[in-house]
Chains A and B, each alone.
Chain A
């Protein structure tokens, strides 16, 4: 079974600065997808970014980018120019051949003014 680990339960960052959230996963599969979702206080789960394991190039979406290290089974999220609206719980998630999302325990990010 796949597992996803987020070792940072809470993090904070000053507005306009850069922060990196960590995620590691364990799988024996070679083809899979990785995701970062954010869940603000409204509890609406929002897709932030997606990475296909077969792609070596790291995914980027505006201020959000990932550092995908397949051999190390690491998938970190970098948020640049942090904004107050980035305050949320961030979940790392894995999808393999079972086609279901396995989530990490989440990292609560607080952006400080």
Chain B
């Protein structure tokens, strides 16, 4: 069974732009969670989607948003990029809410 895939793997954007990251969960998994990893703040929870609905949200500004499609694939969007948004963005999928999460390889976003 294929693992969690994330595209693109690397991205360079300019401050003020917006970006969309994509995550395809493991087949059969219906829950997708997003995390931001930075050297300073470590791993922080962004949000979780289950059955196309946002079920949980971390402490991030409204510039961070996401959605989930009927096939469980998920996208996250960051608008008006700031230098501090440079990070590794990790997506994780699970069968359902509360189940163990399996991570993708991440998208490395650099904002210049």
Contact = CB atoms under 8 A, between A and B. Distances in A.
A100 interface: yes
A45 B103 contact: yes
Contact of A91 (B33, B43, B55, B58): B43
Interface string B71-102: 00000000000000000101010000110111
Contact of B56 (A43, A45, A47, A98): A98
Interface residues of A, number: 21
Contacts of B55: 99
A33 B56 CA distance: 17
From A35, A43, A45, A46, name the one whose CB has the most chain B CB atoms within 10 angstroms.
A45
A99 B48 CA distance: 9
B103 A44 contact: yes
Contacts of A37: 103
A107 B49 CA distance: 29
Interface in B15-51: 33, 35, 42-43, 45, 48
B35 A101 contact: yes
B45 A101 contact: yes
Given A42-B105, A43-B105, A44-B103, A102 B45 contact: yes
Interface of A: 33, 35, 37, 42-47, 50, 91, 95, 98-106
Given A43-B108, A104-B42, 9 more contacts: A43-B88, A45-B90, A45-B106, A100-B45, A100-B56, A101-B35, A101-B45, A101-B101, A103-B42
